[in-house]
């Protein structure tokens, strides 16, 4: 039997492929494909359309090829700095779930995801969860985040899964789309999926009170079909997100507000660090570009130039 299907689950060594003809088929990568020299630590990922085959009498199929991807989200491997890990592919939109507290999401983590989404033309939305827990200080931070990111052009949705705030709006955004749901451990990704699709009954765990951070509940990425239409990809919660695969490209192109102001720079090859008459640095000084975003840019630029490991 031969066919084509979409990878909906990865366990690192095997893959679950969904196809109209064969339904769900457990597959491994064929030896020929596995031996190709690939920089990625995971040559087949959730969201991939693949060609696969299964010999008569066997229960496990073999993935022979990955069809061309329209896009993907990628991060630097935490263990092999020269390699990268593709999180998922063929995505219509990214929803980055963030929280001001329990756990704290750092703005540079947000910016790293947004830079990658810009690089691969994936529309991104920020979903700010756990607003029912926010006191005055947290509400101020929430307001600052919305001012920064909405000004740039990113949608920001406040929500509380505890009180179901904005749930209908979230559902309307997910409908008929392939959505990658990402964020730190503990921000509520699995809880959100359970609310939208209760039959899945994904595991959730409490926040670690000693470290105020999330515990990993999703080990591998997995795609789920939604009753409202569309698919959602649940991803492992990660604390760090190193950018990769952008060597030699102007990094500021992926910061929309920096790119807009760069047109006013004196030099066409300005990288907005210490050049004279830099319109970007002037915009930072005048408050038209947020200082946190500019700091994220400088840190990512340093990482891009010297290949150093990410700090988060």
DSSP 238-275: -S-----S-TTS-GGGGSHHHHHHHTT-SSTT--SSS-
* For the chain, domain boundaries: 2-66, 72-234, 251-306
pLDDT tens digits along 243-279 = 655 656 789 999 999 999 999 999 999 999 999 999 9
37-46, 86-95, 297-306: range with lowest mean pLDDT: 37-46
Q: Decide: 156 and 169 in contact? Cβ < 8 Å.
A: no
pLDDT for 1: 79
Q: Determine contact, residues 22/5, Cβ cutoff 8 Å.
A: yes
Return the CATH number of the domain spanning residue range 72-234. Answer: 3.40.50.300
Take residue 27 and report the two structure tokens written for it: 């597959």
CA distances from 188 to 154, 202, 206, 292 (A): 20, 11, 10, 25
- pLDDT tens-place string over residues 170-218: 999 999 999 999 998 889 998 999 999 888 777 655 544 443 444 444 4
| Beta-ladder partners of 205 | none
The answer to whether the CB of 116 falls within 8 A of the CB of 74 is yes
Opening angle at CA 282, ends 280 and 287, nearest 5 = 95
Q: Please tell me if the domain spanning 2-66 has the same topology as the one spanning 72-234.
A: no
pLDDT number for residue 129 = 96
pLDDT score at 311: 42
Residue 130 has pLDDT above 60, yes or no: yes
User: Residue 82 and residue 133: Cα distance in Å, rounded?
Assistant: 40
pLDDT at 236: 73
Backbone angles phi, psi at 265, to 5 degrees: -70, 150
Ranges 162-176, 205-219, 297-311: which has the least confidence: 205-219
> Does the N-terminal peptide bond of residue 103 adopt cis geometry, omega within 30 degrees of 0?
yes
- Rounded Cα–Cα distance for residues 260 and 251 (Å): 13
- The contacts of residue 294 (CB under 8 Å, 6+ apart) are 258, 280, 284
Q: Which comes out higher in pLDDT, residue 79 or 292?
A: 292
Burial 97-123 (b: 16+ CB within 10 A, else e): bbbbebbebbbbbbbbbbbbbbbbebe
Architecture field, domain 251-306: Orthogonal Bundle (1.10)
Q: What percent of the chain has pLDDT over 70?
A: 82
- Statement: residue 37 has pLDDT above 50: no
Give the pTM. 0.85
49 compared with 202, residue with greater pLDDT: 49
pLDDT number for residue 154: 97
Between CA 261 and CA 169, with CA 100 as vertex, the angle to 5 degrees is 80
| Structure tokens that stand for 194 in this block | 């359970």
pLDDT given at position 147: 96
Specify the pLDDT at position 5: 94
Closest alpha carbon to 125 in 71, 168, 164, 183:
183
The predicted pLDDT at position 85 comes to 77
- Mean pLDDT, the chain, as a whole number? 85
Averaged pLDDT for residues 106-111: 94
Task: Assess whether pLDDT exceeds 80 at residue 35.
Answer: no
In this prediction, residue 34 carries a pLDDT of 53
Of the candidate ranges 40-49, 143-152, 174-183, 249-258, the one whose mean pLDDT is the lowest = 40-49
**Pick the residue with more confidence: 80 or 237?**
237
pLDDT reported for residue 237: 59
The pLDDT assigned to 213 comes to 40
Q: What is the pLDDT of residue 171?
A: 95
Confidence of residue 78 (pLDDT cuts 50, 70, 90): low
Architecture of domain 2-66: Beta Barrel (2.40)
Q: What are phi and psi of 209, to 5 degrees?
A: -70, -25
Q: 137: helix, coil or strand? A: helix
Stated length of the chain: 312
């Amino acid at each position: 039997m031969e066919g084509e299907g979409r990878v909906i689950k990865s366990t690192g060594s095997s893959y679950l492929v969904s196809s109209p003809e064969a339904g769900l088929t457990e597959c491994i990568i064929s030896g020929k494909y596995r031996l190709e020299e690939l920089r990625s630590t995971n040559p087949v990922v959730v969201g991939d359309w693949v060609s696969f085959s299964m010999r008569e009498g066997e229960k496990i199929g073999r993935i022979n090829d990955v069809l061309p991807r329209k896009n993907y989200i990628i991060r630097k491997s935490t263990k092999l700095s020269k390699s990268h890990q593709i999180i998922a592919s063929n995505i219509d939109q990214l929803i980055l779930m963030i929280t001001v507290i329990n756990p704290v999401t750092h703005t540079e983590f947000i910016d790293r995801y947004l830079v990658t989404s810009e690089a691969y033309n994936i529309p991104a939305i920020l979903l700010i969860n756990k607003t029912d827990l926010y006191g005055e200080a947290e509400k101020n931070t929430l307001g600052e985040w919305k001012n920064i990111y909405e000004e740039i052009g990113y949608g920001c949705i406040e929500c509380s899964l505890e009180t179901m705030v904005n749930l209908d709006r979230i559902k309307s955004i997910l409908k008929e789309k392939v959505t990658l749901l990402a964020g730190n451990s503990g921000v509520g990704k699995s809880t959100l999926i359970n609310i939208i699709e209760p039959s899945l009954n994904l595991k959730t765990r409490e926040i670690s009170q000693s470290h105020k951070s999330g515990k990993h509940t999703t080990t591998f990425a997995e795609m789920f079909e939604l009753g409202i239409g569309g698919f959602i990809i649940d991803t492992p919660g990660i604390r760090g997100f190193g950018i990769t695969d952008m060597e030699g490209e102007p990094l500021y192109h992926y910061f929309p507000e920096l790119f807009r102001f760069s047109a006013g720079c004196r030099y066409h090859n300005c990288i907005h660090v210490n050049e004279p008459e830099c319109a970007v640095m002037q915009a930072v000084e005048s408050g038209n570009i947020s200082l946190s975003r500019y700091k994220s840019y400088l840190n990512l630029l340093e990482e891009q130039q010297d290949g150093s490991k990410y700090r988060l």
